[in-house]
Amino acid sequence: MYVGKLVFSQVMEHLPLHTFRRCVARYHGEHKVKHFSCLDQYLSMAFAQLTFRESLRDIEACLRSQSSKLYHLGIRSTPARNTLANANAVRDWRIYCDFAQSLITIARRLYANEPFGVDLRETVYALDATTIDLCLSVFPWAPFRSTKAAIKLHTLLDLRGNIPTFLSISDGKLHEINILDQLLPEPGAFYVMDRAYIDFERLGRLSEAGSFFVTRAKSNLKVQRRYSHKVDKTTGLICDQTVALTVFYSRKGFDQPLRRIRFKDPQTQKTLVFLTNNFSLPALTIAQLYRCRWQIELFFKWIKQHLRIKAFFGTTENAVKTQIWIAVSVYVLIAIVKKRLHLSASLYEILQILSLTMFERTPLNQLLTSIGTDSNSAFHDTQLILFD
């Protein structure tokens, strides 16, 4: 008797499978494949992400224990450890990269009107990179230091919904500034970044494309003040100036006026100096924009804690990139489900619930909308409180 779909199948229903098939065909992902398809590989790896599996043997044991339900999960071939390892090592990682990008496009449309802390119509991006440490003897293709390997995950995060719109995976030696060469600037958008991305020639290209940047100035910045604007010092602002670069090579790369804003954080009492090429926004809004850059740090912390991208299932470059892109696509998929079902729960809460209910048949909206409704009634006034 039919009693409903499994929770895993209900989540995967939000995937655009026609787009996935086009990505597979684009890179000939199923050339000479007879049984274990690219979709089987993706669903197995997505299952590992959602249920926090730690190894290929762990994935195999869990799925084989539920072999009677694999067909209802959408997996048509029972995955073996060697088969999954070979698929991760051989099948082109760009299949899952392109598919993740298509999910990102869907998610950005859903979160287009999402507030992010600053009242601004334009799109605001935060740009940064995080390092994932690896063992040099196991991952020799990712050099970092003489005795250490690492990869860098360069991310451009749309602050409306915290959706990653651009990701690039490189070895640990690549400096963050080189990623600006790969970006396609969006006219009218704001790019918020830290001091590691200060290269005036590259920032000049952003400005020429009609984009705006907000960054912090280095301590050795040489500029000439041209004009000072009035500021309300009760807000923490110290000065708002129009300046020009004085060093020859800096001025050669960026031969335009810059706006320098000095701000003292009322909470930390730390003085910050911002640089931007935008002269229309209030100075306090520029300071608030840079404060929103912290969202990308929280994003890196979140995915390292809750997605499997620190313990890899394979050692080849293709296997590592495949796992990272599938992890990103799962993150974006959960964000899509959250928006489509109008859920108030956080992504963390949704993932925790899904990790325990993959093989249940409860309707997804009923399962996830009940998060937190009964938690308050479970506490008594006499119960000790650990944290206020």
The residue that leads in pLDDT, 195 or 303, is 195
What angle separates helix 294-306 from helix 347-356, to the nearest 10 degrees? 10
Q: Does the 195-292 domain belong in CATH 3.30.1370?
A: yes
Beta strands in the chain (DSSP E): 124-134, 143-145, 148-158, 163-171, 190-193, 212-216, 223-229, 237-245, 258-264, 271-276
Residues 141-174: tens digit of each pLDDT: 988 888 889 999 999 999 988 899 999 999 888 9
d(CA 16, CA 23): 11
CATH 3.30.1370 in the chain: give the residue spans.
Answer: 195-292
d(CA 149, CA 161): 32
Average the pLDDT over each of 4-8, 153-157, 257-261, 309-313 and give the range with the smallest value: 309-313
The residue that leads in pLDDT, 371 or 212, is 212
Mean pLDDT, rounded, for 267-277 = 91
Residue 372 has pLDDT above 70, yes or no: no
For residue 195, which of 315, 290, 268, 113 has the smallest C-alpha distance?
Answer: 290
pLDDT band at 268 (very low <50, low <70, confident <90, very high): confident
- Name the average pLDDT for the chain: 88
- Give Cα 117 distance to the centre of its chain: 18
Residue 377 has pLDDT above 60, yes or no: no
pLDDT band at 323 (very low <50, low <70, confident <90, very high): very high
Residue 199 has pLDDT above 90, yes or no: yes
Return the pLDDT at 134: 87
Residues 23-39: tens digit of each pLDDT: 999 999 988 888 899 99
Residue 105 has pLDDT above 70, yes or no: yes
d(CA 46, CA 58): 14
Return the pLDDT at 371: 59
Give the whole-number percent of the chain exceeding pLDDT 90: 62
Residues 213-245: tens digit of each pLDDT: 999 999 889 999 999 999 998 889 999 999 999
